[in-house]
Every structure is written in structure tokens, then in C-alpha cells.
Structure 1
Amino acid sequence: MPTLVTERGIVHYEVYGRGRPVILLHGWLGSWELWRETIELMGKDFRTYAIDFFGFGDSVEHTGDFTFGNYVELVNQFMDRLGIVKAPLVGHSMGGTVSLGMAARHPEKVVKVAVIGSPIEGKSLNPLLKLVGYKGIAQLAYKTPFVLDSTIFLLTRFGRAGAPVYEMVRQDASKVSVNAFFQSIGTLRDTDLTNEIADLSLPIMGFYGKHDVIVSPKQGKVLVKHAPTAQEAWFLHSGHFIMKDEPERFHSTLTDFLKNGTSSNPTQNIQAAERPATVPTS
């Protein structure tokens, strides 16, 4: 299990493939497991690094800081420790917001950014998620398995891959500490990147699903409005977990963007990338 020691804690990550580096960042209550199929498909073209944020998966934070700014610094230190001078960032939900924050604060290290169902404005989060950003409510939900499981079910049932996504998120949530649970979503709720992304000149692609009930899909329009280089890929049959709901089109569009900096036609299906021979097993 690859790990890396930073000033704030131990970072677990998975690395796979060959070629140019690409860093993958998961969302709230997630882990690197979200990207298992993605790194399998992209491994023949890129060397992929899938990180567990502090407090999620197998990463451990020593100072108890599970805020948006600390996650941006995690990515910054991760790249420094591994000698990754510059790379594209791909982030789902909270991970996409962190990716844009990294691009705004350390633009010299970021080649391009792909965000999937990511909030640009924290007010776009589902009201249930806004509530668990408060410590008292978070502790109640965290300590009451039925409440937490029911919330996860309600938030993951609207995509094509509802049952597998629910099980994946439920398993990942079982590893999250209560402080990471409420601090991370609380700081995301209060984030607004509209000013920070206005000066970005690197390629940006936003992936948004029509049936997303976790983050308003209208955030794709907000991204395009405020980031001058951004374009949007709209997925009519997806919820929040586009990579699970429409995997072939998602991966082909993402690969095209990473290779070319743009997608020739984000609204059309593109043939999925060929699978490499083996994938990580842990």
C-alpha cells in the first residue's frame, strides 16, 4: 500500500500505468476506489495517481484539519514529494473543487483540470449535505447508522448505477472519522471559487449529469461563465457519479480532453479506451 509522509499526515495513494502523470481526486465520503475503472482504462496512456484525502480511505491527518485549503496543500505537497513538476488534475465533486483551488493557487503545477459534478459555489450543495456540515447534526448522523445509510441511499439512487454506487459510498463512509465527516463538507459549503477561477488560462472541462441531486448540475454553467477557458460536457443519463452511470462516454471524453486539451464534441459518444492487462488489487 503506497504511502507518503507530509507535514500534516500520511497520504495513501494508488499509482498505476505509464506515461505522463495524471492526479485523480475523489469526492466527499469517497476514496481512491472511485477511480478503479478509470485507472484501468487510462493506464496505457498515463501514469495515474489516485489519492485518498486526509480522513478518507487510508490517509491519516495529524493536526485534525480537514478543510478545503488543507486538501489543496495536500495535493501541493504530494506533487513536491514525488517530484511531479506539473500534471493534469481530475477531481470528482469535492475533489474537483480542490483541483480548481490548486490551479488557482499553484498554477505553475497544473496543466489542465477536469471536474466531475463539482461545486463551484458551496450553495449548490444538496441541503442535506449543508446540514451535516454543522458539528451537532454531523455527530447525530455519524453515530446513527440508519440515518447515515438512509442519507447515502437518497443521494445515490438517481443514477443508472444506483445500487453499486450506494454500496461503494457506504463502504467508504465507514472509514471516515466524524471530524473529517463534518469539517470537509462544512468548508466546502462555505467555498466560492467564482473569483479565483476567473484568471485561469489553462484548459478546463466540466462534466455534469442532468440527474445530479448532490450538486446542482447548473454548476456547469457557472464554471463556463466564470472560467474563460472552460467547456462543459453534459450527460443526460447520469447523476452525480458520471463515471459509473455512463462509463464509456465519460472515459473517452476524459481521455480526449487529457490528450488534446479539448473534446471535439462533448455531446457525442466516443469509443471507450482499450483496457490494459492488469489493474491494482488493493
Structure 2
Amino acid sequence: MDTKVVRVGSTEMSFIDEGKGNPILLIHGFAGSKHYWDKIIPQVANEYRVIALDLPGHGESGMSKNNYSIEDMAGTIKELLDQIGLDKVTMFGHSLGGYITLAFAELYPQHLNGYSLVHSTANPDSDDAKEAREANAKKIQEEGAEPFIEGLSRKLFSPENTVENSTEIEETVKIGMNTIAEGLVSALIAMKNRPDRNHVLEDTELPVLLVAGEKDQIIPAEKTFTVTKPNIEKQIIEGAGHMSMYEQPEELVKVMKDFLSKI
């Protein structure tokens, strides 16, 4: 898969652009990159145009400032879409990418055909979670990223899959270690400060897909399935933790394509 780079403001943004057809945009999670979707892209690009980007400070994308809010990242994505000439997309956001997807849906709903939260939530952080974000940001600043990334990567997968997915866990560690410390800290603070966005789900008339992992240790299904409406579809990926794109890619592709076929 070829990587492309465009300048968005004073920042270089890296992304994969594969396939033809109705465009979909894939947004990775915290400490991830566009390569989180490597098992998904070939299976979806045979029917759709698939764009998978690196968020600021992640992968091969730069940062034009020290701190990006969730809303800033949504705005950067809007600028990227403008640069490559896309007016409307269907957006899939994994974890942190889901928080950004909801912000995008609130700020730029006219530029979406529909959207999906993949192992994500519209809820804000609890007080305990906010304290943990602050502590992790401080730890990264003082000790570097490696100890934090090693611990995080194992929690992303279902405990039952750690042996079977050992190669994939190593891959997420490598991807995480390619995230600059400033990018990690910025994203942690952005997640800590994000607001409750359940009202976005409650108010939207767009098609929405909520995807949860049966064994997710980070965001359990009840935190994903917070709003029930006729236009909101809910799917649980059996046997998956927080990383169904690695743990159950065929099932995730099936769920994604079924949702896309209805838009």
C-alpha cells in the first residue's frame, strides 16, 4: 500500500489511499497509526475508496503545535479531506479515533454519509480516568514512551488472545514506539479533556454503527452502546478485545461492509 503525504497548514499528514468508489475514512486509536488497518484495507478497498491517516504526532504525521484538542484533530481531518477533494465520507474511528469522529460529526455533519465508533464511547472520562491520563502523561515525559507502550499494548487485546496474537501485539508495540512522546502526551490530555458527546448520537439522523469487542478491557460494550435509536446499529465482535482489526479482522470487515451497503 502506497503512502501519500499532504501539507495541512504547517503540518505534513501521512495517509494511505486505496481503491475506488464511495470514500471511507479510517481513524486509528491512541498510540496507533494508519497501519492498524492493514488487515482491513485490502478487503474493503475492493469495493470502496479507503483513506487511512496518521493523526498528528502519530505514525508519519507531524505536529504543528504542542497540544491538539479532540476538536483540533477533527478540524485537521476536515482540512485533509479538503486538500484531497473529498466533500463527504463515511468515517470509522477506533477508540481515540472514535472520539474524533464524534467531534467531526458535531462540527461537520454535512460532510458525513454516516459514521462508526469502533471500540469507542461517547462518554467522557471518569475522574479516575482523568487522573490516570495525567499520570501517564507525566510518566512519558519523565521516563520516555517505551515502558508505557509495552504495558498498554497487552491490555488492548483480549487476555484469551495474547498467545495467538503475540505477533500482532509486537506490531502494536512497534507502532506505538513510532509515536513521538509529544504526540502521546498531547493525545492523553485531549482525551482527558473531551466532553460528553452522547448528545451527538441522540441528535444525529445519520446512519451510525457502534462496534464493541466482547472481551474489551478498555471500553466494554455497555460504554459503547450508550444510545438506542433506529438509525444506530450495534454490533459485538465475539472473542475480540479492543483490537478487532487484528483479533477478528474478517468479522470486522463483514460488519463494516454490511453497514456500508445500507448507506
Do these two structures clear the TM 0.5 threshold for a shared fold by scoring above it? yes
Equivalent residue number for residue 278 of structure 1: none
Deviation readout 1:90-115 (Å, 9 max, x if unpaired): 11111122112111110110000011
The Cα shift of 1:154 comes to 3.7
Residue type at the aligned position of 1:90: F
The RMSD of aligned alpha carbons is 2.2
**Contact map agreement 1:17 1:46 (CA 8 A) in 2:** yes
Return 5+ residue gaps in structure 1 as ranges: 262-282
Identity of aligned residues (%): 19
Equivalent residue number for residue 178 of structure 2: 175
The residue matched to 1:188 in structure 2 has which SS?
helix
Distance 1:159 1:122 in 2: 28
Distance 2:233 2:192 in 1: 24
Equivalent residue number for residue 4 of structure 1: 6
The Cα shift of 1:180 comes to 1.4
The residue matched to 1:53 in structure 2 has which SS?
coil
Residue type at the aligned position of 1:153: R
**Contact map agreement 2:59 2:178 (CA 8 A) in 1:** yes
Equivalent residue number for residue 185 of structure 1: 188
Equivalent residue number for residue 150 of structure 2: 149
Deviates more, 1:40-49 or 1:208-217: 208-217
The Cα shift of 1:16 comes to 0.6
Return 5+ residue gaps in structure 2 as ranges: none
Distance 1:9 1:163 in 2: 34
Deviation readout 1:242-281 (Å, 9 max, x if unpaired): 12222222111101101213xxxxxxxxxxxxxxxxxxxx
Residue type at the aligned position of 2:236: W
Equivalent residue number for residue 269 of structure 1: none
What TM-score comes out, normalization by structure 1 length? 0.83
- Flag the 1:45–1:155 CA change in 2: closer, same or farther, 3 A: closer
Distance 1:92 1:58 in 2: 18
The list of structure 1 runs, each at least 4 consecutive aligned residues, that deviate by more than 4 angstroms after superposition, is: 124-127
Residue type at the aligned position of 2:70: F
The correspondence of residues 90-239 of structure 1 with structure 2, limited to 5 A, is 90-123=92-125, 127=129, 131-134=132-135, 135-140=137-142, 142=144, 145-156=146-157, 158=159, 160=161, 162-191=165-194, 192-222=196-226, 224-225=227-228, 229-239=231-241
- Flag the 1:45–1:125 CA change in 2: closer, same or farther, 3 A: farther
Deviation readout 1:141-182 (Å, 9 max, x if unpaired): 535x34541343244352635313321221111121222112
**Contact map agreement 1:130 1:185 (CA 8 A) in 2:** no
- Flag the 1:89–1:151 CA change in 2: closer, same or farther, 3 A: closer
- Flag the 1:164–1:141 CA change in 2: closer, same or farther, 3 A: farther
Distance 1:115 1:151 in 2: 20
The residue matched to 1:186 in structure 2 has which SS?
helix
- Flag the 1:139–1:202 CA change in 2: closer, same or farther, 3 A: same
Distance 1:243 1:15 in 2: 18
